[in-house]
């Protein structure tokens, strides 16, 4: 499972699994066709590749958890899931796979800042224990991550981020120009 930018880190995982002799079923999702990249690379290391776009401009319309659930309900045995992408996507991948008992690995590298564990920005609760994505991860059991806490922490600086973008656009011109 790769969402948006995370198609890039999913690719070497899929490649290594394929090289090790595994059957690799890949699902990638993007907001629209223009944001899709590495489709052929993913196809080359996947026994099956499903592409989803939120707006239906390419592949299947909808989010990645829809075909994921179909595969989990199907006849093929799914042994493990890697889900990398936005936190909301990883949360719902973990929630979708949990009733099926399929181990689901998520990668929380997107919440890291300094990579040393000193700033605490990547602090996350996993299995009831505080962890730091940069030193204890970044891969964790998605069924053990406290997704609500993680996403609440990601919203902490939304106002400051908005102001910083507005200031940058005033000083440099908007991205649309």
Give me the domain span that covers residue 145. 2-172
Enumerate residues 6+ apart whose C-beta is below 8 A from 141. Answer: 103, 104, 105, 106, 126, 127
- What is the pTM for the complete model shown? 0.89
Position 77 in a domain: yes
Position 22 in a domain: yes
Position 139 in a domain: yes
Q: CA–CA distance from 24 to each of 10, 86, 129, 136, 144 (Å)?
A: 12, 22, 32, 27, 24
Show pLDDT as tens, one digit a residue, over the chain (177 residues). 999 999 999 999 999 999 999 999 999 999 999 999 999 999 999 999 999 999 999 999 999 999 999 999 999 999 999 999 999 999 999 999 999 999 999 999 887 777 787 888 889 999 999 999 999 999 999 999 999 999 998 888 788 888 999 999 999 986 555
CA pair distance 126, 137, nearest whole angstrom: 10
Give tens-digit pLDDT for 18-31: 999 999 999 999 99
CA pair distance 98, 92, nearest whole angstrom: 10
Enumerate residues 6+ apart whose C-beta is below 8 A from 32. Answer: 53, 54, 55, 57, 58
Confirm if 22 and 54 have CB atoms less than 8 A apart: no
Give tens-digit pLDDT for 32-70: 999 999 999 999 999 999 999 999 999 999 999 999 999
Render 45-88 in DSSP notation, one character per residue.
T-SEEEEEETTSSSSEES-THHHHHHHHHSSS----EEEBS-HH
Count how many domains the chain has.
1
Position 127 in a domain: yes
Position 148 in a domain: yes
Helix, strand, or coil (residue 157): coil
Position 177 in a domain: no
What is the CATH classification number for the domain harbouring 124? 3.40.50.80
């Amino acid at each position: 499972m790769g969402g948006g930018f995370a198609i890039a880190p999913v690719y070497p995982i899929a490649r290594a699994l394929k090289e090790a002799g595994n059957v690799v079923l890949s699902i990638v999702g993007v907001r629209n066709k223009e944001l899709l990249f590495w489709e052929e690379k993913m196809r080359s290391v996947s026994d099956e590749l499903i592409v989803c776009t939120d707006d239906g401009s390419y592949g299947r319309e909808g989010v990645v958890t829809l075909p994921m659930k179909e595969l989990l309900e199907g006849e093929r045995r799914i042994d493990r899931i890697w889900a990398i992408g936005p936190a909301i996507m990883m949360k719902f991948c973990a929630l979708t796979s949990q009733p099926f008992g399929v181990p689901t690995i998520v990668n929380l590298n997107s919440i890291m800042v300094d990579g040393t564990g000193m700033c605490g920005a990547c602090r996350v609760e996993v299995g009831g224990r505080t962890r730091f994505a940069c030193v204890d991860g970044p891969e964790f059991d998605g069924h053990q991550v406290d997704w609500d806490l993680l996403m609440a922490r990601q919203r902490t600086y939304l106002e400051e981020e908005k102001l910083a973008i507005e200031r940058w656009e005033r000083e440099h011109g908007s991205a649309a120009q």
